[in-house]
Chains A and B, each alone.
Chain A
Amino acid sequence: MNVLAIDTSNHSLGVAIIKNSHVAGELVTTIKKNHSVRLMPAIQQLMASTETTPEELDRIAVAVGPGSFTGVRIGLSTAKTMAWSLDIPVVGISSLEAVAFQGQYFSGQVCPFFDARRGLVYTSLYDGSGNRIKDEANVLMNDWLLELKATETRTLFLSQDLQVHEEQITSIMGDLAVIPEASYHQPRPASMGLAAIRREPTPVHRLVPNYLRMAEAEAKWLERQEKS
């Protein structure tokens, strides 16, 4: 099975090609800008260097968020339209899970997160076997860390926004917090592509972003409705 994996949901722009279930190539940059400009040239370059034509693709994997709303949509617009044009299945992978893959062989629990501003994070929790044990949520980091501390379990923290929350993590979690070096925090599109082989595809028209957060105008509108 040949898979093209795409992730533009956060800092990284990542593209991978899996050929016959082996990782044929991977291209990752982490400069968090111009995802829209650089994504298609990256796909084109990687496909050319791995000698893959669009018709040879059997499946597309894409990170569906949470993350930058615009970033998520750039990836999804690309993945959905490619899958639809080529008439092949598309598999959405959680952006948090894509990060959690980087802690797959850690013996404790794995906590991937993205900064969501104003003290909030998008996060979830995985056990040592890669099973998700907490629903994805948009929560206050402080509350979340107290909850994790109560589990009394060693927790691997994975995030490209680590520096924003590192002090808080170590001060609340103490020795229970494990923080690896920089390269582990970077999601790898190749892991997403391999996971997509085993996953059930979503009908292309129904694949939508997982924002984990309402649009601000919508939240305010609902607030007004509740008041009146």
Chain B
Amino acid sequence: MKRDEYILAIETSCDETAAAIVKNETELIANVIASQIESHKRFGGVVPEIASRHHIEQITVVLEEVLQEAQLSVEDIDAVAVTEGPGLVGALLVGVNAAKSLAFSKQKPLVGVHHIAGHIYANRLEQEFEFPLLSLVVSGGHTELILMHEHGSFETIGETRDDAAGEAYDKVARTLGLPYPGGPEIDKLAATGAETIDFPRAWLEAGSYDFSFSGLKSAVLNKLHNAKQKQEELRAEDVAASFQANVVDVLSTKTLEAAREHNVKQVIVAGGVAANSGLRSALEAKFSDEACSLLIPPLSLCTDNAAMIAAAGAVAYRQGHRAEWDLNANPALSLERYAASGLTKEQE
């Protein structure tokens, strides 16, 4: 009988200190997140130095909690996975060095994981993948369409040319005077408003799966500014609804087009903005008559966590990816480069 395999993962790329353990690639058995959101609220955004300070205070605490939750000891772990990038460099460094130390102390294999690969693989904890698979990754730092033909292979077929969708959300939220983090606030506000303002949608050139949100962001800010000057009444609910309808329309339409062109079997949504109810319902409506299935992870797996890193790390581990003791944090790690790295010589 094949024995069970346990991957322990660490994620510290932004403002959550997280550890998780996944059993046999797809079964989440422990998931611990120490969130810093309260600490960053007063600054209106994540402050990198403060995030790093929290990580160093929490790192061994979350490691201990995750083993307790899983009722395992360090000896039972088969490999240690860690987010190596992208993310905030100082924050990533805490996790990377902790992972190296744990792996070295217990002489366990070490696997570096790309944060976005993690967001995609969060979905595999819910349902097995079917290829070809298209993933829409939307978060504070990312807006990408990624095509996968098999496990561990990632092809970026579309990406943002300027701001990430989440960035636009935060900026608009701040202008509307909403508290941080702005995404969920706009989502809530939009639900009570109507799309009364026709902001221009950035479709870009025909056939392109790229995105652009800086024009929309400026249009919203200008609209608010002009209304204020003319002392014109603008309902914040309607501004939020109009902004959100625009973002959601572009995201869901391009996702549908890409899914059809590449004949994918599954479409999955990943990243913090996947928690957005407007995006969820737009995608559900668009894909209701499609042959492919649409997967949106539960809210708890949309935001940053280590379960997703363990899920992606487990596959990388099975495929033979191994990090050396000189593994570093890589704040600008690309998904394609990550997929090709870490394999031993014979496998390449």
Contacts and interface: CB of A to CB of B under 8 A. Distances in A.
Given A41-B326, A80-B59, A85 B94 contact: no
B59 A217 contact: no
Contacts of A142: none
B133 interface: no
B50 to A, nearest CB: 5
A70 B326 contact: no
Contacts of A221: 42-43
A216 B97 contact: no
B52 A54 contact: no
Nearest to A53: B107
A44 B100 CA distance: 11
Interface stretch (A148-156, A157-165, A172-180, A204-212): A204-212
| Chain A, interface SS category | helix
Contacts of A43: 104
Contacts of B93: 36, 70, 73-74, 77
A84 interface: yes
Contacts of B131: none
A218 interface: yes
A215 B49 contact: yes
A40 B93 CA distance: 13
Contacts of B57: 208
A74 B97 contact: yes
A85 B101 contact: yes
A34 B327 CA distance: 11
B285 interface: no
A39 B97 contact: yes
Given A70-B90, A218-B50, A221-B43, A208 B101 contact: no
Given A73-B56, A73-B90, A54 B106 contact: yes
A38 B50 contact: no
B63 interface: yes
Interface in B69-128: 74, 89-90, 93-102, 104-107
A86 interface: yes
A196 interface: no
B61 interface: yes
A39 B101 CA distance: 10
Interface residues of B, number: 38
A68 B74 CA distance: 31
Interface string A54-83: 100000000000000110011011111110
A6 B319 CA distance: 34
Given A43-B104, A54-B104, A78-B100, A215 B329 contact: no
Nearest to B57: A208
Contact of B52 (A34, A41, A70, A84): A70
Contacts of A217: 43, 47, 49-50
A214 B185 CA distance: 30
Interface residues of A, number: 34
Interface string A167-210: 00000000000000000000000000000000000001100110
A37 interface: yes
B64 interface: yes
B223 interface: no
A65 B74 CA distance: 29
Contacts of B325: 40-41, 44
Most buried by B among A39, A43, A69, A78: A78
A209 B50 CA distance: 13
Given A37-B326, A38-B326, A78-B97, A44 B56 contact: no
24 contacts: A34-B328, A40-B326, A41-B326, A69-B49, A70-B52, A73-B52, A73-B56, A73-B94, A77-B93, A77-B97, A80-B56, A80-B98, A81-B59, A81-B97, A81-B98, A84-B60, A85-B106, A204-B60, A205-B60, A209-B53, A215-B47, A215-B49, A215-B53, A221-B43
Q: Which 9 pairs show the lowest CB-CB distances between chains A and B?
A: A81-B101, A85-B105, A77-B97, A40-B325, A215-B49, A81-B98, A217-B47, A84-B60, A82-B101
